[in-house]
Amino acid sequence: MTGYFRTVAALVGKDLLLEWRGRETLTSMALFSVLLVVVFGFAFQAQAIDPGSQAPGLLWIAFTFSGVLGLHRTMAVERENGCLKALLLAPIERSAIFLAKFIVNVILLAVMEIVTVPLFSILLRVSVLPCLPELALIAFAGTVGFASVGTLLSTISSGSRLREVLLPILLYPLWVPIVVASVELTGYALTGRPMWEGTDWWTLIVVYDVVFLAAGTLLFDVMLEE
């Protein structure tokens, strides 16, 4: 088991090093997210938005559309560089590849969200400091689900010439339940409502995260053959 996690750590380190050298994925995600927030800011500059109904939806729109830019590169880079064949020939568990890609996606999505939230708060005049711990927890829970299903579907779509189009088509319908739950809980946080009132939404997110993380780990080997 120790060797398994060392393999995962090595793969994560490899992907993060490549991203640090190129900065292509993170830069595109962050810039697109900033652009969306700026557009939202100009659209609502004449009026204050409702932190309970409008702000959560706009925030998660920025997270979702920016995140897809990074997710579609998850396995596409490996296929383009011919590294995928080497990984498949290596004496390692295939699930370790999935977990490594999942962890890298969580990290990249988290960095993009960290860049987005302060700008969102300033331009749309939404106070996030009083509820920052709750907002961070909600964002993390939603990001885990987004990364798990996104990593799995990116594996399926990466072999297609239309992967940039195919991934959103596959992802958005499956992403709806958790983004709805995340939007609702974000509304609770921004309006100061106690988190225990959203128990049903938390349950949905946790179950979604566990199901798709387990599915990705178990089915990744099969998806690679598609």
112-163 residue pLDDT tens: 999 999 999 988 888 888 889 999 999 999 999 999 999 988 888 776 677 6
Which candidate, 57, 56, 55, 59, places its Cα nearest to that of 33?
A: 59
In the numeric block, the tokens 């946790």 are attached to 206
- Per residue in 167-226, pLDDT (tens digit) is 888 888 998 999 999 999 999 999 888 888 889 999 999 999 999 999 988 888 777 765
Which candidate, 165, 156, 192, places its Cα nearest to that of 52?
A: 192
Which candidate, 201, 172, 212, places its Cα nearest to that of 67?
A: 172
Q: What angle do CA 95, 93, 152 make, to 5 degrees?
A: 20
